[in-house]
Every structure is written in structure tokens, then in C-alpha cells.
Amino acid sequence: MQIKEILALNPEEQQIEVKGWVRTKRGQSALSFVSINDGSTINNIQAVMDGEKIPEELMKKVSCGACVAVKGKLVASAGSGQNVEVLAEELIIYGEADESFPIQPKKHSLEFLREKAHLRFRTSTFSAVFRIRHALSYAVHQFYHERGFFNLHTPIITASDAEGAGEMFRVSTFEPNKAPLTEDGEVDFKEDFFARETSLTVSGQLEGELGAMALSKIYTFGPTFRAENSNTTRHLAEFWMIEPEVAFNDLKDNMNLAEEFIKYVINAAIKNCQEDLAFLDTRFQNENKTKPQLERSEHTLLEKLDFVIENDFARITYTEAIDILLASKPHKKKKFKFPVEWGIDLQSEHERYLVEKHFKKPVILTDYPKEIKAFYMKQNDDGKTVAAMDVLFPGIGEMIGGSQREESLTKLKTRMAEMEIDEENLWWYLDTRKFGTAPHSGFGLGFERLVQFVTGMGNIRDVIPFPRTPGNVEF
Ligand code: 4AD
Ligand code: MG
């Protein structure tokens, strides 16, 4: 039985067995108290060790980090903060941990714990974060399943760059003139696996569109890779993305889906992760107190989550956003570092101003200049903008990027030529426009940025079990 289930039992002196890792040990050899956690809940169970029943030799092996099993009676606890405890009758030591175990019962910095990523699961903070991550992931599948979407597994190794940003991790290179040949003069695939240049995918979108042009409503939820050298608290080289793609949806439908989706999964976390969120909220408020006045959040974590699910997101065009920024007086009347004019790619200082200072809520920005967006976005009638949308979140920045897709073969080909994108590589993508094309839209939500928002963790490296960033691939 998991500790979560045991803690919910009515204590009737029934025999139970607790298995888990020791968090703390107090007391003397005659009577000691050991708190044990198995990761099923933020709460520990306390085992009361009576020196008459548990041999001292064995008790000596119980220390922070050790793995134990305790058999005994479940009784009501007199101590505060817990309803039940176990009166130990038998102790089994699975694995000892000496005093070099790095996760001792004291406050460790997140930086320190990042260097101990293989053991940080054993802290309250990280186990809470990863339980919430699980709950969000489960809610993602529930949301789409309930609405008749099909989960499509798109490839991880690809020969195309969906975003055209050239930020791909190379899997294989290929030089046609140097390809090893068989005796028959064919390319020898045993020697050169793909005989193509291949990379890790930056997005499952293009393949997702193929699925949507038959299954109508699909979503992907998989790892994506970006070889951008961004050492920020919002970027990973390997992150998980959720990408719905829907036939017959226009940009407005796409915005509605994005807003409904985010609210649904946040709501699921609020409902299903109460104890973990309450724990992280306390953590969030303590951190908040140590921040400079200006960066301090006026609200608790739970208030922020409630606010998002209860209020409409703001929706404005890029052009309107530029007007707001031009008319703005950023804090202390200082100008933005990066000057604002129509056509610029919005920098995080601009996005933060719009979301945190101006609207004070999530904002959906639409209709960006075509020059700063990908080739596949639907061109608007003004000839200048495309039917793009980004969803911006307080404290996070861009949570979602998406668009209505260009469904006209001619327009798509023209745009690709302008952007010098090779048609030959994407002939299969263009086929969807050639055979039974249809209006369709989709977006990508960066899962870690969502987990960051929900858990209140400041650094994206602390919401993925094994972060991949420049220079980091140890665990
Ligand atoms: O805006 P992006 O690049 O959009 C796409 O990849 C589209 N193909 C999605 C689509 O329309 N199907 O990325 C989408 C989201 C961003 O809004 C951000 O949340 C996240 O992915 N993201 C990252 N998250 C962590 N680390 C990075 N390096 C990220 N790059 C993008
Ligand atoms: Mg984007």
C-alpha cells in the first residue's frame, strides 16, 4: 500500500507495512521517531520505534536517505500535523545511506539540487513538481480525448525543419558524392543509415497537419529539440510540446481551443494536486519575500491559478500591441532596451509589459508581420500579416505559438520561394494542399512552461526531470 493510501485509513490498530525512504530521524535508542516518504504524497508517515521491539543495531542503520520497510500497527497520532502513525514491530533495511547523502533535512538551494538531479526527486519540492507534471500530462490527454481528438505519434528523427529556424540537432549528415555504394552501385544503407541529412524534430506540426487532413482532429505530445544556445530560465534544448491540429478551424477557433485547453489543465491541477500546490504556494510566498519589491508577485500561487481560469484572456492584434507599447511608459519612464516599431519581433521586455503591466492577465496576440513568422502561416488579405497567434503568460512569456495554416498551394509555394525553402524536401507536405486541401489551424504549447506557471518554479530546469541545456547532459 502506498503511504498516501495508508494516511487516509481509519486507524484501528490494523497491521500495515510502510515502505519508503527516511526523511528524518529524531529521539534516542529507547524511543525514536522516523518519518518516511515513498513519493506518493507530499506527506510523510511517522514510524514510532520502541527500543524494546527494534534492535539497536538495526536502528543505527536508519538515517536520512536510507530505504526501509516498517511493519506494525496503525494508530491515531497524538502529534500535531498528522492523523496516524505506525507503531513499529519489525524493521527491514533495504539500503543504508551514510552521512555523505547530499539531501539532508535542511534547506538546499535549487542550484545545488540541480547538480544533484539524480537525487533531487527525494525532496518535497521536486516530488511535488513531478507529481503535478504528471497530473497535467494526464489532463492533456483527457482534454483532447473527451473532445474526439486522436493522439498522433509524430517522428523524432526527421529530414525537415518545420520552423525553418535552422536550430536542429543533426542526427546524420550526407554527402551524395561520398555515399558508400553496394556492388550493384546502389547507396549502401548498412553503411549510411538514411543516406539523407537528418535531425531531431523541432516540432511535430508538419506531420500533424498530414494527420489532421484525414482524421480531422489530432494532437501530438512528444519531445522536441532545439539547438538554440539560449541560457535562460525559459529555454531547454529538449522540451515536450503539445500540438493540436484541427481541420476546418480558423484562427478564432484556434484561440478558443487554446484558451479552453489551458484553463482545463490548470483546473485539473487545482482539483487533483491540492496538497502539492499548497506546499509549493508556501514555497512561492517565501521566495517572493526575498525578491526585490518590483519583481514581487502581489498574489499567491493559488490566487494566480484561480485568476487565470476565471477570467477571459485578452485578445489583440500585433499592430494594436505595437500601438500600446509605443504609447507606454515602462517602469520609471525608462525606454525599452529594444526600440519598438512595427515589424520588430517582440522581445521579452515587450511581452512582459503587455502581460504584466498593461493587461495584467494572459494575452493572445494575433496577426504578426509575415517576415517574422514561419512559411506555413495563412497570409492575411493585407499582404503584410499572417494569421498567427501567440499566447503570452505573466511571468512566463510565450506559452503557445500557433496559427491558421496556408491552405492554398499557390500561395504556399510562392511564400516558400520567397523564403528560399526547398520544395523538394517538403513535397509530401505540399501534397496535402494539392489533394483535398482544407482550412485548418493548430498550435504548440511548451509543456515545461505550463508546468512552470502552475508550480511557480522560477527556472524551467526545475520542472523537467533531466534538463538538457548547453553543457548539461550528465544525468
Ligand atoms: O513557437 P514555437 O516555435 O512553435 C512551433 O513549434 C509550432 N510548430 C507549433 C505549432 O503551431 N504546432 O514553439 C511552440 C512553443 C512555444 O510557445 C514555447 O512555449 C515552447 O514551444 N518552446 C520552448 N519551450 C522550452 N524551451 C524552448 N527552447 C522552447 N522553444 C519553444
Ligand atoms: Mg514561437
pLDDT tens column, 264-320? 999 999 999 999 999 999 999 998 999 888 788 889 999 999 999 999 999 999 999
| Alpha-carbon dihedral 19, 21, 24, 28, rounded to 10 degrees | 60
Mean predicted confidence (pLDDT) in 150-178: 89
Distance (Å) from CA 74 to ligand 2 centroid: 53
In a domain, 446, yes or no: yes
**How far is it, in rounded angstroms, from Cα 201 to Cα 120?**
29
298 Cβ contact list (under 8 Å, min separation 6): none
pLDDT band at 160 (very low <50, low <70, confident <90, very high): confident
Q: Is any atom of ligand 1 closer than 6 Å to the C-beta of 241? A: yes
Average pLDDT, the chain: 95
Q: What is the pLDDT of residue 334?
A: 64
Q: What is the mean pLDDT of residues 242-261?
A: 98
The per-residue pLDDT for range 31-48, each reduced to its tens digit, is: 999 999 999 999 999 999
Predicted pLDDT at 331: 54
Task: Assess if residue 192 is contained within a domain.
Answer: no
CA-closest residue to ligand 1 atom 29: 235
Of 123-127, 190-194, 383-387, the poorest mean pLDDT is in: 190-194
Does 226 lie in the same domain as 82? no
Same domain as 151, residue 50: no
398: closest CA among 449, 469, 437, 359?
449
Ligand 1 atom with minimal separation from the 399 CA: 19
Q: 302 lies in a domain?
A: yes
Find the mean pLDDT for residues 98-127.
95
Question: With a 6 A CB cut-off, is 235 part of the ligand 1 pocket?
Answer: yes
The contacts of residue 222 (CB under 8 Å, 6+ apart) are 153, 154, 156, 201, 204, 240, 241
Residue/partner pairs of 355-360 with CB below 8 Å, 24 or more apart: 355/392, 355/393, 355/394, 355/397, 356/394, 356/395, 357/328, 357/330, 357/331, 358/324, 358/328, 359/314, 360/394
Instruction: Tell me what pLDDT residue 267 has.
Output: 98
Q: Which domain holds residue 52?
A: 3-95
Whether residue 467 is contained in a domain is answered as: no
To test the pocket of ligand 1, the residue of 219, 231, 236, 239 to mutate (highest count of ligand atoms within 8 Å of its CB) is 239
Do 321 and 370 belong to one domain? yes
CATH of the domain at 431: 3.30.930.10
Q: Is 444 close to ligand 1, i.e. is its CB under 6 Å away?
A: yes
Of 46, 79, 95, the residue that ends a domain is 95
Distance CA 325, CA 360 (A): 14
50 domain residue, yes or no: yes
Query: Which of 200, 203, 251 maximizes ligand 1 atoms within 8 Å of its Cβ, making it the mutation to test the pocket?
Result: 203
The CB of 448 under 6 Å from ligand 1? The reply is yes
| Length of the chain in terms of residues written | 475
Same domain, 399 and 355: yes
In a domain, 344, yes or no: yes
**How far does residue 434's CA lie from ligand 2's centre (Å)?**
27
Same domain, 142 and 48: no
- 150-151, strands of its sheet edge to edge: 150-151, 217-225, 238-247, 440-446, 397-404, 385-393, 363-369, 314-317
Say which CATH number the domain at 25 has. 2.40.50.140
Structural domain tally of the chain? Answer: 2
- CB burial of 354-363 (b: ≥16 within 10 Å; e: otherwise) equals bbbebbebbb
Query: Average pLDDT of 7-30?
Result: 96
In this structure, which residue's CA is closest to atom 4 in ligand 1? Answer: 401
- For 90, other C-beta atoms within 10 Å of its C-beta total 12
CA 95, CA 297: separation in Å to the nearest integer?
Answer: 43
**Could you tell me if the CB of 368 is within 6 A of ligand 1?**
no
| Residue in this structure with the C-alpha cell 505530445, named with its chain if needed | 221
pLDDT of residue 80: 79
Same domain, 399 and 357: yes
Query: Is residue 313 in a domain?
Result: yes
> Within this chain, do residues 132 and 89 fall inside the same structural domain, yes or no?
no
* Distance separating alpha carbons of residues 455 and 277, to the nearest angstrom: 7
Return the amino acid letter for 461: R
**Once rounded to an integer, what is the mean pLDDT over residues 121-139?**
98
**Residues 438 and 296 placed together within one structural domain of the fold:** yes
What grid cell was written down for 45? 508517515
Is the CB of residue 205 below 6 angstroms from any atom belonging to ligand 1?
A: yes
Q: Is residue 197 part of a domain?
A: no
**How many angstroms separate the CA atoms of 202 and 314, rounded?**
28
Rg (Cα) of the chain, in Å, rounded? Answer: 27
ipTM for the complex shown? 0.99
Question: 136, 201, 396, 449: which to mutate for ligand 1, most atoms within 8 A of CB?
Answer: 449
Same domain, 158 and 212: yes
Same domain, 88 and 226: no
pLDDT tens-digit series, residues 374-420:
999 999 999 999 999 999 999 999 999 999 999 999 999 999 999 99
17 and 145, same structural domain?
Answer: no
**Stronger pLDDT, 360 or 190, i.e. the higher one:** 360
The CA 10 to ligand 2 mean position distance, Å, reads 51
Q: Answer yes or no: is the C-beta of 450 below 6 A from any ligand 1 atom.
A: no
Distance 373 CA to ligand 2 centre (A): 8
- pLDDT exceeds cutoff 80 at 247: yes
135 with 252, same domain: the answer is: yes
Per-residue pLDDT of 325-376, as tens digits, reads 999 876 555 689 999 999 999 999 999 999 999 999 999 999 999 999 999 9
